[in-house]
Amino acid sequence: MSNLVIKQHRPGYWIGWGAVLTLLMVAGNYGLFLYFTQQQRADARALGSENLRVVEERQRLELENRELRDTLAVLERGNQVEHEAYLQHVQTVKELQAEVVELKRQLTFYQELTSAESLQNGVSIEKFILSAGKKPRQFHFLLMLTRVLKSGSVSDGTARLAIHGLQGGEPMVLELAQISPASGEEIAFKFKYFQNLEGELALPEGFEPQEVHVRVTTGGKKTPPLEEVFDWSVEE
């Protein structure tokens, strides 16, 4: 004989538990919603604070950069002023040196004017200049003669040039007629105040010039010739 079990049917029991579970799920979801909402707000506040810090840092760096540029500009201006002062100083020194050279030249000139030979001759050699010619080993010369005495008379005479140097290691002298056929052996002059004597020179191959000997003779037979030696120096 089988046993018959009779269980009591309670439908309200399961409905209650279902309602409780539903409330718990709703409360849990709402709690999660509140948590994530607060977390997002916190993240937003943190991000805003970080952005503010970045903006403030950028402003600080821009200010420092501006100050550094201003400082650099001041230093560059100071260096420019010092450089300009240095250039001015160098220019002043060059001008003073040029004045000294000119004063020495004038002193030499006046010493020559008062020398015994110049006074006796009545003529002074003011300067002798060599410059490069149009072709290799060709040169242009300029000899300036001036009057020493202030009288109204005219000075006349001749000037001779001779180039002293080496040919193949041996001393050699080239007379004017040898290196300047157009000038001949001597150049005649006649002037009241000053005169420039000019001509062209052509040196032979292998000849090494060293000095230029100038000899000036005036018309007076008793007047000794005026002689002067110049180093061979060609102006650019």
Give every residue of the chain whose pLDDT is below 50, as ranges: 116-119
> CB–CB of 163/201 below 8 Å?
yes
Per-residue model confidence as pLDDT tens digits over 195-228: 999 999 999 999 999 999 999 988 766 678 889 9
d(C-alpha 178, C-alpha 180), whole Å: 6
d(C-alpha 35, C-alpha 210), whole Å: 107
Token readout for 122 is 């009545």
Please give the full DSSP string across 120-161, using - where no structure is assigned.
HHSEEEEEEEEEE-SSTTEEEEEEEEEE-S-SS--EEEEEEE
Which residues, 6+ apart, have CB-to-CB distance to 176 below 8 Å?
Answer: 160, 161, 162, 183, 184, 185, 186, 187, 199
Residue 87 is predicted with a pLDDT of 85
d(C-alpha 227, C-alpha 230), whole Å: 10
Question: Would you tell me how many other CB atoms lie within 10 Å of the CB of residue 186?
Answer: 17
CA nearest neighbour of 122 among 151, 142, 158, 161: 151
d(C-alpha 148, C-alpha 117), whole Å: 10
